Amino acid sequence: MTMAVYEVNTFQRDVFPLQYQAVGCGAPAIVIGSHQYYPKTFTQPLFEHLRCYFMDHRGFVLPDTPVTEADFSLDKLLDDIEAFRVALSLDRVILIGHSIHALIALEYAKKFPASLSHLVLIASSPIAGNALHAIANQCFEESVCKERKQQLMHNIQIANSEDASENAFIARMIMLAPMIWYDYNFTGEALWQDVYLHPFGAEVIWNK
């Protein structure tokens, strides 16, 4: 999977050098998540209508100094987005969030409603963390075809034979691809290429 390379800039928040890249022309849209991951998921025609700011949140950044759980609080993530919008002199923006980032986007809309023109929530759920995982597992077991289940078991066997301790979260996302993607043979591995994920930060943001 290839895409055009755009200039990457840094927006410093506390000890987190958040990186971002701006792509396209048109109405301003902030995309929450990784500046490396999400540009690969957008189609080129969209950039003819939107100026997309693909912005890291703290979970996708190597901090300058040691951090604590409080550094990854929801309020910190929301304030980072608002500070980013103000720093770039953006008026009312479209805010786009996918999966866990959709929940973050929704909370931002509640905290900073005057900063938004539109809110876009993609593949969202009303909850996150272990409660969501339990529901997803039950739904998968009861609802999907045997081929999809077989592919998941195959992925689990491969994952168990490999040492992925350094990038455990990303390895888990690739392993669980049949539970995530419409095409259960698609791993999403290319999307994660060059993506940094802070292990402790990911645990706090995704599971707390």
Which of these, 139, 102, 107, 100, lies nearest to 121 by C-alpha position? 102
pLDDT of residue 178: 97
pTM: 0.91
pLDDT of residue 133: 83
User: Taking the chain (208 residues) in consecutive chunks of 10 residues, what is each chunk's mean pLDDT?
Assistant: 68 98 97 97 95 98 96 98 98 97 97 99 83 89 97 93 76 94 95 95 87
CATH of 9-207, one of 3.40.50.1820, 3.30.9.10, 3.90.110.10, 3.30.1540.20: 3.40.50.1820
pLDDT of residue 126: 77
Distance of CA 61 to the CA centre of its chain: 12
pLDDT of residue 23: 96
Spatial distance between the Cα atoms of 132 and 126, rounded to a whole number of angstroms: 9
Spatial distance between the Cα atoms of 95 and 90, rounded to a whole number of angstroms: 12
Report in angstroms the alpha-carbon separations of 47 from 27, 53, 144, 154, 192.
10, 11, 35, 37, 21
Q: Where are the domains of the chain?
A: 9-207
Residues 26, 51: contact at Cβ < 8 Å?
yes
Give the tokens for residue 81. 């987005």
Spatial distance between the Cα atoms of 103 and 192, rounded to a whole number of angstroms: 21
